Structure 1
Amino acid sequence: MVTMRAVLIKDGKGPIENLYIGETEKPVPHQGQVLVQVKAFGVNRMDLYQREGGYPVPPGASTIMGVEFSGTVVELGQGVTDWKLGEEVFGLAGGGAYAEFINSDVQLLMRKPSWMSWEEAASIPENYLTAYQALVKYGEVEKGDNVLIHAGASGVGVAAIQMARSYGSKTVTATASTKEKLDWLLSISNGATHVANYKTQDFAAEVKRTTDGKGVNVVIDFVGQSHWAKNIDSLAVDGRMTILATLSGSEVPSMDLRPILYKRLRIQGSTLRSRSPEYQAELIASFQQRILPKITGEKGDGDMRTFIHRIYPWTEIQKAHREMAENNNSGKIIVEITP
């Protein structure tokens, strides 16, 4: 058996201390796949849940963590003609990115622009595709809309804020838990127009104040139970809400359905990882056409930029997970594969 190094979990699941770099079988590309030597990968909250045993791995996906990566094509599977050895790529995966090598379906890959670093490329797929799906595909954001985005300093939150601004939103209100994060969100290029500390402020009252009592047209929520009533209150007539996670809990007691009826609200739930490869491929194709050309690196001046909180060598994978678990990041946490 040919092996490679990967981030593994002692006993299959457990606390941060169970993460270690060990040997596992090196994948072999099948028909329609390429083998990529990974240079960098992104850390996402779902990785924490998977490590703890609370996030189901899609059927057929690698049990190794990691859903986004950048790297170099080193082997072609049968029938692959549109990709070449040595091409620099980045992409989305059902799992397996926390490793030296990963198999990738070709339709889930994107070619890395030459000016983009490995770390910047690895910061894009999960965050920007999730934001694009939530805001554009489901939220149907339009010029002049008012938008409310929770977890604003997260990777998806930052992407969604900039995307909403790029689409011409009238106001973009972001929530976070600290003044430092809120100030940062106001300061970044194409950042939030308004902010609210969800711990100390009533964000529903804030968005009504900034929208002359109308409320917002689009809400992107990761929080669930604790934000539910205020989210419904925040939405304008014909408003749309996309729910991406339930960080505060999934059960909403004593729910009053009348505002949903009277305001004609649309509420959509989604997890990108559970979607079929065909759906993801279609989303990526649309994203490459409509969004990717607008994204620049951290020092760029495009409509949207990558914002990396910190880059860790993968020998410090425990520190990277701890940084996210403690909600210390403003922007993306990236890990690079080191010798």
Structure 2
Amino acid sequence: MKAIEISRHGGPEVLQMCERPKPVAGPHEVVIRVGAAGVNRPDVQQRKGLYPAPPGASDIPGLDTAGVIVKVGEAVRRWKEGDRVCALSAGGGYAEFCAVPESQVMPVPHGLGMAEAASLPEVYFTAWHNIMQLGRLDFRETLLIQGGTSGVGMAAAQIAKVLRQARVLATAGTSEKCAMCRRFGVDIAINYREGEWADAVRNLVGDAGVDVILDSQAADYVEKEVELLAMGGRLLLIANHRGDYSNIRTRAFVQRSLTLTGAQIRRRDPVFKGKIASELVSQVWPQLAAGTIKTHIQNKFPLSQAASAHAILDANEQVGKIVLVVDPGIE
């Protein structure tokens, strides 16, 4: 099969087309003939040598796939050949075929094509696990999202607004990105390049504070975020793009009953991921089918142009999702 491999660690140019053996389905796996694959920040980090694939996973990048099942393992009962599905894998998505544990496979939401379906798994798994499972976002609470036009940010904003009627605040780096935030569930978008974002948030929430903060920046942001949290507030870290270390006042956690969590889904087992998948299918997939929650695809590229897709993320020009079209004949 044709696939994209990381020839060495470096810039987008290290992504090269190659030939690899087709994957074989294990007892509890399915093999998907890939129609489209999503592009995510973890793929970029893997390309740079900062986020290696977990033991036993394919070294081919790509965590999002959508396509048609062509083979099921001997112990698989919930899926059959010919099913239209999307899935979260631990790697291997930038290829014509991808093997995935059956628990991490989900039906394509009604009315969506393969490119749209491929844009869903990684960002919705991440958003749901963090704001709903770890963050315990309750009805009409206030959520702050750092990076409102990332794929995860746009997913989190819509989940919070549609399923919890939350007040959603978000940061973004341009006026255009702020406008896009507001189109996808954000009540107030703050341009972090125009003044101090923490002061702007404080002016909006006052002494009540923010109930839940979803952050991929960490480092110097954390100290500011802790001070913004409400009594019982939850700070959810999903990455540390600004640095590995933060200076925080731990006494605040005791005084105000705060919670700090970190999350990485890729290395978790299929049972753990299957629970998230089940909740997404029951609670979010109907909203996607109804159009009350939407995905936004900024660009589509053929598989051979994976480097061009990565260049957009490297330049921090991503709004929503970038998708690789692997087989345009699969819909």
What TM-score bracket applies, with the shorter chain setting the length?
A: over 0.9
Among candidates 54, 68, 74, match of residue 72 of structure 1:
68
Among candidates 87, 90, 93, match of residue 86 of structure 2:
90
SS of equivalent residue, structure 2 residue 306: helix
Among candidates 203, 210, 214, match of residue 209 of structure 1:
203
1:327 paired with 2:323, answer: no
Among candidates 3, 10, 29, match of residue 6 of structure 1:
3
Task: Report the counterpart of residue 220 of structure 1 in structure 2.
Answer: 214
Quick check: 2:64–2:86 contact (8 Å CA) kept in 1? yes
Task: Report the counterpart of residue 158 of structure 2 in structure 1.
Answer: 162
Quick check: 2:59–2:91 contact (8 Å CA) kept in 1? yes
Quick check: 1:68–1:90 contact (8 Å CA) kept in 2? yes
Task: Report the counterpart of residue 48 of structure 1 in structure 2.
Answer: 44
Give deviations 1:161-194, integer Å, cap 9, x for gaps.
11111133442110111111012212x14x2101
* Aligned-partner Cα distance in 2 for 1:171–1:113: 27
Give deviations 1:212-263, integer Å, cap 9, x for gaps.
431110000000113112111211111011100000001124x322222222
User: Structure 1 residue 305: deviation in Å?
Assistant: 0.7
* Aligned-partner Cα distance in 1 for 2:52–2:18: 22
SS of equivalent residue, structure 1 residue 272: coil
Q: Using the TM superposition, name which of 162-171 and 87-96 deviates more.
A: 162-171
Quick check: 1:33–1:77 contact (8 Å CA) kept in 2? yes
User: Structure 1 residue 82: deviation in Å?
Assistant: 2.8
Q: How many residues align?
A: 328
User: Structure 1 residue 75: deviation in Å?
Assistant: 1.4
Amino acid across the alignment from 1:325: D
SS of equivalent residue, structure 2 residue 282: helix
Quick check: 2:5–2:59 contact (8 Å CA) kept in 1? no
Summarize the alignment of residues 307-326 of structure 1 with structure 2, pairs less than 5 Å apart: 307-326=296-315
* Aligned-partner Cα distance in 2 for 1:115–1:144: 30
User: Structure 1 residue 338: deviation in Å?
Assistant: 4.3
Q: Which protein, 1 or 2, shows the higher relative CO under an 8 Å CA cutoff with sep ≥ 6?
A: 2
Give deviations 1:275-326, integer Å, cap 9, x for gaps.
1111001111122112221124xxx641x11111111111211110000111
Q: Normalization by structure 1: what TM-score?
A: 0.93
Quick check: 1:27–1:101 contact (8 Å CA) kept in 2? yes
Structure 2 gaps of 5+ residues are none
Task: Report the counterpart of residue 30 of structure 1 in structure 2.
Answer: 26
SS of equivalent residue, structure 1 residue 273: coil
Task: Report the counterpart of residue 269 of structure 2 in structure 1.
Answer: 276
* Aligned-partner Cα distance in 1 for 2:60–2:310: 15
User: Structure 1 residue 330: deviation in Å?
Assistant: 1.1
* Aligned-partner Cα distance in 1 for 2:19–2:281: 35
* Aligned-partner Cα distance in 1 for 2:92–2:7: 16
Amino acid across the alignment from 1:236: A
Task: Report the counterpart of residue 294 of structure 2 in structure 1.
Answer: 305
Quick check: 1:147–1:169 contact (8 Å CA) kept in 2? no
Task: Report the counterpart of residue 279 of structure 2 in structure 1.
Answer: 286
Change (3 A) 1:136 1:10: same
Among candidates 247, 250, 261, match of residue 254 of structure 2:
261
RMSD: 1.5
User: Structure 1 residue 104: deviation in Å?
Assistant: 1.3
1:143 paired with 2:123, answer: no
SS of equivalent residue, structure 1 residue 37: strand
